């Protein structure tokens, strides 16, 4: 399974960079994951940049108005994609203005992490942690409860 996070904007602060590296390292035994950063501009142009980097497979747009899932439900969703033989999953994170309608329309799933709005850098870390948690659940390996 290959995963690609396509995110608008760079991770600027050192503490977010450290957190991202921490989870990327922990995810490496479970999946091939690359991160593509798209330049921050207006959401329509950002959207074109995002869509140009889709790597096929299934596309998930992170949006606070999207579908909520528990960590167990996300793990089951991911496991179902693996069982179906889905080769790759794109995870899209917007910038300060959010995602364009083109990107939302192109997505197979719009996923909410919470009803609250998070800064995009934090949303990236939350996604990485939940993906790591999902693999631990799928593999039935111990992790924090």
Ligand X SMILES: C[S@@+](CC[C@H](N)C(=O)[O-])C[C@H]1O[C@@H](n2cnc3c(N)ncnc32)[C@H](O)[C@@H]1O
**Number of H-type helices and E-type strands within the chain:** 5, 5
128, exposed or middle or buried, with CB in 10 Å at 0-12, 13-18, 19+?
buried
Q: How far is CA 46 from CA 42, 78, 100, in A?
A: 6, 27, 8
Return the CA Rg of the chain. 14
> Whose Cβ is closer to ligand X: residue 1's or residue 64's?
64
Q: In sequence order, what are the residues at sequence separation of 6 or more whose Cβ sits closer than 8 angstroms to the Cβ of residue 44?
A: 100, 102
Nearer to ligand X by Cβ, of 52 and 87: the residue is 52
Instruction: Closer to ligand X by CB, 83 or 116: give it.
Output: 116
Taking CB under 6 A as the rule, does residue 70 contact ligand X? no
For residues 133 and 33, give the distance between their C-alpha atoms in angstroms, rounded to a whole number: 15
- The residues in 106-135 that bind ligand X, with binding defined as CB under 6 A, are 112-114, 116-120, 123
Contacting range for ligand X; rule: CB under 6 A; set: 11-19, 29-37, 74-82, 95-103: 95-103
Nearest distance in Å: CB 124, ligand X: 8
Q: Is residue 68 a known part of a binding site?
A: no
Is residue 94 a known part of a binding site? yes
DSSP-derived letter for residue 140 is: T
* 116 in a labelled binding site: yes
The answer to whether residue 63 forms part of the interface with ligand X (CB under 6 A) is: yes
Sheet holding 88-93, edge to edge: 32-38, 2-8, 88-93, 58-68, 109-112
135 is in an annotated binding site: no
- Residues found near ligand X in the complex (CB under 6 A): 62-64, 93-94, 96, 98-99, 112-114, 116-120, 123
Tell me the binding residues for S-adenosyl-L-methionine: 62, 94, 113-118
Tell me the binding residues: 62, 94, 113-118
């Amino acid at each position: 399974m290959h995963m690609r996070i396509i995110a608008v904007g760079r991770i600027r602060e050192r503490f977010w960079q450290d957190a991202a590296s921490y989870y990327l390292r922990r995810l490496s035994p479970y999946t091939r994951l690359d991160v593509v950063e798209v330049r921050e501009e207006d959401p329509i142009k950002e959207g074109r940049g995002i869509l140009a980097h889709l790597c096929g497979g299934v596309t998930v747009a992170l949006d606070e108005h999207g579908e909520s899932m528990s960590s167990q439900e996300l793990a089951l969703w991911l496991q179902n994609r693996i069982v179906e033989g889905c080769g790759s999953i794109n995870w899209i994170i917007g910038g300060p203005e959010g995602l364009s309608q083109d990107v939302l329309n192109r997505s197979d799933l719009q996923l909410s992490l919470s009803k609250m709005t998070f800064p995009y850098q934090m949303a990236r870390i939350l996604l990485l942690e939940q993906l790591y948690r999902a693999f631990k659940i799928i593999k039935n390996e111990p992790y924090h409860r």
